[in-house]
Structure 1
């Protein structure tokens, strides 16, 4: 069982990462990815770990489900596709842009009210089409725009100021911090600014896994359960049609998963089993197979995870190797 009291903030230190994946080409180890992994059982206890799961780190966009929970607690009236979008790192597809416009419309706001940074769409194919059409970076296309639209609406509903909604001392951001601390079970170690401009809180990898476990095991109808239900039912709205995190949720029944920049992945099963991964160099090619291996350690059928077990390395256009998870991943 999880404790309801808050632990001290995780220690800020150089993380003690360990090798988690190897690039093997022609039978020779060509490169090594370091990182950290933690696997929690349904009872919340650490079942497996590798590297440094207790040092402070920035979860990046993997924290978005917790931000969405905080906004629902503050009165945000979203569910379904639009709630999934509020917790999204979206690909910039037309449905994502239309959904963000809809949230702003429901709030009586406009794109100019957004304070996230302008950017091109995240998905490479969508981005190429966007650029060929001569379109410039925009706040709407940036992958966090759904979250920012939801933040604005939450602030407006509560009578809070809008232009400074990203200030860490804004009532909205204080409410988000309180929710992050409650769900992770630990105090925030540091506060900085994420790429989109929103406050970003340093927690531990174990705290991140614990938080998502609490989200998926919450009682029906609670803000936590509403976020989990929305993201699982509308995985492509929380990511995109071609994204590995959406494919992972489709492959594993009941799984809630969220990725984050710099090699972060968190996932939780309906009974509370949860995993969290941080790849030290931020490489997605290691994030996916390491997360799949962690889920296997959590008890997920390996057959469901086969397509995520390792990307091939090509030579002359044909596979000559692969990214392989290290032996002993998850040693207690």
Structure 2
């Protein structure tokens, strides 16, 4: 499917700030791969750190250019579905905002959402895929299982979309059309929480509409989710993801470990090097790694959280992993200044 015109969302958010500019982002160096004291590789990107009052405490690169948040937008999409009447909480709500690993609990949870809607896997319109986590994927292939819509990492979100559509009496076959009432409702909340218009609409990897906002807007949206009053759709999403971090990601995933390590933190990753995280007092960070490299995403986000005031000692395990040479540690991946470099992570490695 070709990129879609933002005109499909005409009428949404007319009173909001203008949509971010569509331009080539002016990214800056945000991480170095250092081998033997020499900078061997440089990751460019953009970083924004928001203070509790919403002001920009630190910015690197281009935080106002339009970009695609990918799966980092899922908490916002989940808020939109709750506002439209989705009656999920706890582990199933966390799964609705998940980029899951394809573990059995994720598959079972997605089936439960579909059953609540009176639907089956055949009603899903996300692309069939193998499980996201490498170990889970290898076991899946070894067992002779084929790609499926249920195993694809966005299946929980799609099941929740179908449930929301059914509850509202909306059509099901075309729930991924950007002109569908469900996607119009999601777009409205994206604009509401980011505080800006949507710059472009295209199709995400799973087949759902994907909305271009700014990195600054994404950080603002997640901060609004974590600071919302108890019982609101925003607070319900934050609570569900924090309390069921592995349902929103998977066993051994860095985003779950980050939420476990920092009390009250809501964190979500996205393809192409996107990471967002926010604390209950409104402090928030958002990261975009220009080349999409996952190895720089977490170290840069951890350094940004340290700049936001999170204890660097707590974040030490998320510092850049060791670079190996002949089986020995010969360097590290380190955030650049003015991000405060964290202590190197104690284990793992890069060849």
Which bracket does the TM-score occupy, shorter chain normalised?
A: over 0.9
- Equivalent residue, structure 2, for 1:155: 165
Q: Does 1:195 align with 2:183?
A: no
- Equivalent residue, structure 1, for 2:133: 123
Q: 1:212 touches 1:267 (CA, 8 Å); kept in 2?
A: yes
Q: Does 1:311 align with 2:321?
A: yes
- Equivalent residue, structure 1, for 2:42: 32
Unaligned runs of 5+ in 1: none
Q: Could you report, residue by residue, the CA deviation over 1:279-322 in whole angstroms, capped at 9, with x for unpaired residues?
A: 00001110010000000010000001000011111112221111
Q: 1:206 touches 1:276 (CA, 8 Å); kept in 2?
A: yes
Q: 1:5 touches 1:185 (CA, 8 Å); kept in 2?
A: no
Tell me the secondary structure at the aligned position of residue 211 of structure 1.
helix
The alpha-carbon deviation at position 327 of structure 1 amounts to 1.8
Q: Does 1:52 align with 2:70?
A: no
Tell me the secondary structure at the aligned position of residue 223 of structure 2.
helix
The normalised TM-score by structure 2 is 0.92
Q: Does 1:277 align with 2:287?
A: yes
Tell me the secondary structure at the aligned position of residue 150 of structure 2.
coil
Q: Does 1:173 align with 2:179?
A: no
Tell me the secondary structure at the aligned position of residue 221 of structure 1.
coil
Unaligned runs of 5+ in 2: 1-13, 341-351
Q: Does 1:10 align with 2:20?
A: yes
Once residues 79 and 317 of structure 1 are traced to their aligned partners in structure 2, the CA distance between those partners, rounded to angstroms, is 46
Q: 1:36 touches 1:53 (CA, 8 Å); kept in 2?
A: yes
Q: 1:155 touches 1:162 (CA, 8 Å); kept in 2?
A: yes
Q: Does 1:142 align with 2:123?
A: no
Q: Does 1:80 align with 2:80?
A: no
- Equivalent residue, structure 2, for 1:220: 230
Q: Does 1:262 align with 2:272?
A: yes
- Equivalent residue, structure 2, for 1:321: 331
Q: Does 1:106 align with 2:116?
A: yes
Tell me the secondary structure at the aligned position of residue 159 of structure 1.
coil
Once residues 161 and 41 of structure 1 are traced to their aligned partners in structure 2, the CA distance between those partners, rounded to angstroms, is 42
- Equivalent residue, structure 1, for 2:75: 65
Q: How many residues align?
A: 327
The normalised TM-score by structure 1 is 0.97
Once residues 318 and 199 of structure 1 are traced to their aligned partners in structure 2, the CA distance between those partners, rounded to angstroms, is 45
Once residues 173 and 331 of structure 2 are traced to their aligned partners in structure 1, the CA distance between those partners, rounded to angstroms, is 51
Q: 1:275 touches 1:291 (CA, 8 Å); kept in 2?
A: yes
